[in-house]
Structure 1
Amino acid sequence: MSTSNSQPISIAVAGECMVTRPFSVGEEPEFTSVLDRLRSADLTYAHVETNFGEYAEVGAPARSGSLGSYFMTDPRVAHDLRWAGVDISSLANNHSFDFGAPGIMSTIRHCQAAGLAHAGTGRDLEEAREPAYLETRKGRVALVSVSSGNGAHEWATPPKASLPGRAGVNPLRTAMQYVVDQPSAELLKDVWRQLGIPMGRGGLVETSGAKSDRSEGEFVLPMPGSTWSSNKFLASDHFEIRSSLDQADLAGNLRSVAEAATMSDLVIVAHHFSNSEGKRGDEPPSFVQRFARRCIDEGADIYVGHGWHKTLGIEIYRGKPIIYGIGNFFAQSEFARRVPFDGYEAWGHDVERLSALTPATHPLHPGYSAHSATWWSSAVLEIDMAGGELGEIRLHPVELGRKVGDGAELRRAVGGPERPLTDGRPFAASGEDAERVLERYRELSAALGTNLAVKDGVGVIR
């Protein structure tokens, strides 16, 4: 944040909006109090994890074969988000390309029509990577939105010669290296030989497009159709998973952050990561930590991470907040209006009976069967800054229709008693629910060197 602008500014940060139903009709005090908090801030950011459009304008879905939801939301909901107080939104995530380039462009159109500033997707890489700018009463704000973990066909690309670039997300590609001990390395290679999968020179199948740059002792065990970044192993004396960032993507995104730092008074970087180093635990991957800190070094004021649909710790780095996991703010995957063939097939339903399958079929969406203790809660963060300095962060817990904690007992049901669905809207949490949200934040932030105090049901970081 530019030190020339010393005006204090309050920023509200809300989580992942898997929002599929109009909600401006809601008038419960526990709900409206959350929205009032968004509206009272000088600037409100939220992550939009859906697409806006009519099915007739986007055509067929563009991905297949994954256990996930296919998000397409009534465009009126974009207006509801703006009505709720959201000013600026990140759009880059693993659902951005659910309906291909038409879905990318329809989402952009409807965000613009609703007055939502946005970043992270575009008709080519330059557009997807450029910062979004928003004029506020307290100065000019910029947002850079980036996504890790997408498929290759989802990355936006630059134009070349007479060929236009591909519409898509602003990527920050990563690669994983699996370190194993020497006996395990030899065993793995022997398995591949027994299966008859050619490894080629140095363990790498020499196929078109495969990168051959490898460190000493590294070998690749490809599966049919895998890319250079998949299944890279290193023989060593221990077991470890190492992640690395694509250097071109890193440099390009840091240029966007530097541009934003020069051209605005406050810079937010939003990073959606759906990949991990092994399981999705309670610590951010090392590639996320490295990228977040590099963004702050380059001039960002706030880093917001999301993608695991769970809250993670908060780090204060060089006086700036790094929020590694903001968690869910709306969780309404179950209300997706239409599910394509691929969705039913991926979840194991009998597609020979396709005409008898409906969006009410279960299961069709992740995160619901186990009733994750972290899926149904998060917090609205109020961040006070002035002159480029962090003043205070206040965390106001919210619950999304289920009790916070193991089992996630249903609080607000939608539908009949046979299989009630979860409302999925953010209500102000209180009592034990609030305590559990804040205790999780306190514990995970402490591991990052951040002290979070709890006072009157609100978490405070100074």
Structure 2
Amino acid sequence: MNDTIKITAAGDILIMKRLIPGYEGISPIRKFLMQGEVRAANLETTISDGTCYASAYSGGTWLTAEEECLDDILQYGFNVLGVSNNHTMDYSYEGLQSTLFHLKKRKIAYAGAGKNLYEASRPAIVDTTAGQVAVIDICSTFEDAARAGSQTERQPGRPGLNPLRFHETYYVTEEHMKVLKEIAGATMINGLRDLHRQEGFVAPLPEGVMEFGGRRFEVCEDGKEGRHSRADAGDLKRTTDMIREALMTCEAVIVMVHSHEIRSDNDEEADYFLEEFAHACIDAGACAVIGGGTHQLKGIEFYRGRPVFYCLGNFVFENQYVRLLPSDYMEKYGLNIHTAASVGIAKRQEQSSHSLYEIPEVYRSVLPYFEIRDGKCEHIELLPVELGMHRNRPEKNIPYKAEDETAAEIAGYLTRVSRRYGTAWKYQKGRIVPDEEKMGN
């Protein structure tokens, strides 16, 4: 029996239209991905015929694609897809049901959403020559109504995604805390919230904690103001319990996580709670954590000899090709509710001062191939890819193997954003690999 687990992965698949006939990029990427027996990515859209009811909220844009787009994506060779992300419930329960139906129809393993919290939390199982591998998928960026609920003996559960909630605290000086209290008193920004707390509908605040506009503030003892986040204890325990349970029958567990949260004011740094979550998953026995969400690469860490990809960025990014948008979107941007989706997307882009479609890092990513043996990563290499930022419109937003100059730039960027984790990367012979001479510096 083979004792090495081979894994490949990609970032987020936000596909809105069919791949162009004769698309030249698919062959080298498929060849690379097929090295893995587990080939994972996150499907960042619902799959439907466009007749499902739109939710009153969305993950930023209401996303749904036709089933033929899913067939196109499967040409790359993926055999497990995560479906837990900020767009999972864009088209409510019916949209989720439609998405899962089309995945089941094609016999594609999936994780991250279901008809109740148990189904949303449980892993997908992938059979390999090294044994079974469990894949758990979870999301931290969502409207509260999108998370799945537990069933009880009295009531059924609620369909939705597998949630990773988190809690934020802002630390300020005593002087600034005094100012916040004065502003709160003058504006009554906390009036209704305080009344609900008195009536028992909101939990009491811990000693020394103040709320201001729904955010929690504490006085910093060391004088260093800032923000910190931590993972929700219940969601963290549910996930680590699921990892340990899966390892009772599977040879390895991979955790996929979709998170748009950031540490400060850029997309390069993983939030505090995400690092906490990743470490806890590996402490519980996961062999890797694969992240997505923000539309560009984050750093790569080796924690206890196992890789953490904090975000792989985009694999397909066709957000501007959304073909259907509900009236809610049009009203948000001051448009007639019967406006075409393409016009609505263009309107949003017009008012942007920092459009995603103009950022080179949004169009660059890596595809990891790594081998796990006895719970440790023994080999890793990354295929540098770019999404055709400067190509003609039909060829944009889909992945291509990066040319040497771009690949070297990706390696340099990856080294910079991975510095906090002590990892460094270099480009050689068509791959990005660890730069052993600079690791730990």
Pair in the same fold by TM > 0.5: yes
The answer to whether 1:126 aligns with 2:122 is no
Q: How far has the Cα of 1:76 moved from its partner?
A: 2.0
User: Is residue 382 from structure 1 mapped to residue 369 from structure 2 by the alignment?
Assistant: yes
Aligned residue in 2 for 1:31 = 26
Q: Distance in 2 between matches of 1:434 and 1:309?
A: 18
Task: Give, in whole Å, the separation in 1 of the partners of 2:173 and 2:355.
Answer: 37
Q: Structure 1 131/172 Cα, relative in aligned 2: closer, same or farther at 3 Å?
A: same
The residue aligned with 1:450 is 423
Out of 344, 349, 355, the residue aligned to residue 338 of structure 2 is: 355
Deviation of 1:161 after TM superposition, in Å, equals 4.2
Deviation sequence 1:285-314 (CA, Å, 0-9, x none):
111111101101111001011111110111
Letter in 2 for 1:52: I
| Structure 1 residue 47, shift from structure 2 partner | 1.0
Q: 1:176 & 1:114 partners in 2: Cα distance?
A: 40
The aligned residue for residue 405 of structure 1 is: none
- Give the CA deviation at 1:201: 9.8
Secondary structure of the corresponding residue to residue 164 of structure 1: coil
Partner in structure 2 of residue 261 of structure 1 = 247
1:383/1:412 Cα in 2 relative to 1: closer, same or farther (>3 Å)? farther
Inter-partner Cα distance in structure 1 for 2:59 and 2:96: 21
**What is the rounded CA distance, in whole Å, between the counterparts of 1:86 and 1:201 in structure 2?**
47
Alignment of 1:22-171 (within 5 A): 22-23=18-19, 25-28=21-24, 30-56=25-51, 58=52, 60-64=53-57, 68-171=60-163
- Residues 197 and 203, structure 2, Cα contact 8 Å, conserved in 1: no
* Residue in structure 2 matched with residue 9 of structure 1 by the alignment: 5
User: TM-score w.r.t. structure 1 length?
Assistant: 0.87
Q: Does the CA contact (< 8 Å) of 1:343 and 1:364 recur in 2?
A: no
AA at the equivalent of 1:349: G
Q: Residue 19 of structure 1 contacts residue 332 of structure 1 at CA under 8 Å; is this kept in 2?
A: yes
2:46/2:65 contact within 8 Å kept: yes
Normalised by the size of structure 2, how large is the TM-score? Answer: 0.91
Structure 2 SS opposite 1:382: strand
- 1:284 is paired with a residue whose SS is coil
CA contact (8 A) 2:169 2:228 kept: yes
Partner of 2:399: 426
What is the Cα deviation at residue 96 of structure 1? 0.5
Gaps of 5+ in 1: 223-229, 403-409, 415-421
Q: 2:19–2:69: 8 Å Cα contact kept in structure 1?
A: yes
- Once the two structures are TM-superposed, the CA of residue 239 in structure 1 deviates from its matched residue by 0.9
Structure 2 SS opposite 1:134: strand
Correspondence for 1:392: 379
The residue that corresponds to 1:407 in the other structure is: none
Residue of structure 2 in register with 1:411 after alignment: 391
Q: CA distance change for structure 1 residues 397 and 208 in 2, over 3 Å: closer, same or farther?
A: farther
Q: Deviations over 1:319-360 (max 9, x none)?
A: 1101111110000111112111122223x2323xx3344424
Q: Aligned equivalents of 2:341 and 2:286: distance in 1?
A: 45
Q: Find the residue that maps to 2:219 and give its secondary structure.
A: strand
1:190 aligns with 2:182: yes
Q: In 1, distance between residues paired with 2:80 and 2:97?
A: 17
Deviations 1:404-435 (A, max 9, x none): xxxxxx22323xxxxxxx72110111132212
Alignment of 1:244-283 (within 5 A): 244-283=230-269
Q: In the alignment, is the contact (CA less than 8 A) between 2:383 and 2:432 conserved in 1?
A: yes
Select between 129-138 and 275-284 the one with higher mean Cα deviation.
Answer: 275-284
Match of 2:439 in 1: none
Distance in 2, matches of 1:115 and 1:201, equals: 48
1:145 and 1:16 map into 2 onto residues whose CA distance is 13
Query: In 2 relative to 1, CA 206–16 (structure 1 residues): closer, same or farther, beyond 3 Å?
Result: farther
Q: Is the 8 A contact 1:280 1:308 kept in 2?
A: no
Work out whether 1:438 is the aligned partner of 2:411. yes
* Letter of the 2:323 counterpart: R
C-alpha change, 1:213 and 1:256, in structure 2 (3 Å) is: farther
The answer to whether the aligner puts 1:242 opposite 2:228 as a matched pair is yes
- Cα RMSD after superposing both structures: 2.3
Once the two structures are superposed, residues 221-258 of structure 1 have per-residue CA deviations (whole angstroms, 9 ceiling, x without a partner) of 23xxxxxxx41111233311011221111111111111
Q: Distance in 2 between matches of 1:370 and 1:321?
A: 29
Percent of residue pairs bearing the same amino acid type:
26
Shift of 1:138: 3.2
CA displacement 1:119-140 (0-9 Å, x = unmatched): 0000000100011111123321
SS in 2 for 1:93: coil
Equivalent residue letter for 1:50: T
